[in-house]
Amino acid sequence: MKYVGILMMAAAVTGAGFLAAERWRERLLLLLQFRQMVYYLKGQILYTNATLPEALYEVGTKLRDGKRGNRAEPGLLLLRVERRLREDGKTPFSVAWQEEVERLPADFPMSKSDRQILAALGENLGYADRKMQERTLLFYLEQTEDSIAFLKKESDGRMRLYRCMGMAAGLFLMVLMV
């Protein structure tokens, strides 16, 4: 019975390493999806001349369809903001955006800086002219590209490190307990 407990503890520690590696990969995939979201918004606003609520609805629907969990969250974020703008015409876009970004799940795989950059996107979007909206979207894309480049550069090494550390800690725990 003792050995089964030790084996379970070692497996849990190893699993934690694999979970950390998966969280790193999930963060990269979400940032890529948020970048895609901004490209879609830019296209809707600049090229189809859609109003911001229309653009939010179109892009949110496109990003949400066929996805579940964290992968659906960028589309759901846009749809929640659009619904708030449609139902309560008095709430400014920046306030609705900020509040909905803050309502992202606590375990959502984004760093604090990623959330701050996403929240800042809504500050200038929605009240300015098209040129200013384009600049705001391009600024967000620039910041997101920096994060994506860092994650891509570091991802293989970090993911391997997290997995190896988890396995090493699991083995160490087994040796220590036996």
pLDDT (tens place) for every residue of the chain, 178 residues total:
777 877 787 778 778 878 877 888 888 888 899 899 999 988 888 888 888 889 999 999 998 888 887 888 889 999 999 999 888 878 888 889 999 999 988 888 888 888 888 888 888 776 667 778 788 888 888 888 888 888 888 877 877 887 888 888 777 777 777 7
* 21 three-state secondary structure: helix
Residues 38, 60 contacting (CB under 8 angstroms): no
At what angle are helices 52-64 and 2-46 packed, to 10 degrees?
140
Q: Is 67 left (phi over 0), alpha (psi -120 to 50) or beta?
A: beta
Retrieve residue 41's tokens: 């918004």
pLDDT score of 57 = 93
Q: What is the pLDDT of residue 104?
A: 87
Tokens for 115, please give them: 């959330």
| Residue 128 pLDDT | 67
pLDDT at residue 126, as a whole number: 66
| pLDDT at res. 80 | 93
Cα 20 from Cα 121, distance rounded (Å): 28
Question: What pTM was estimated for this model as a whole?
Answer: 0.78
Q: Which of 106, 112, 132 is nearest to 52 (CA)?
A: 132
Tell me how far the alpha carbon of residue 154 is from its chain's centroid: 17
Measured between its terminal Cα atoms, the distance across the chain in Å is 12
Contact indicator for 140, 42 with CB cutoff of 8 Å: no
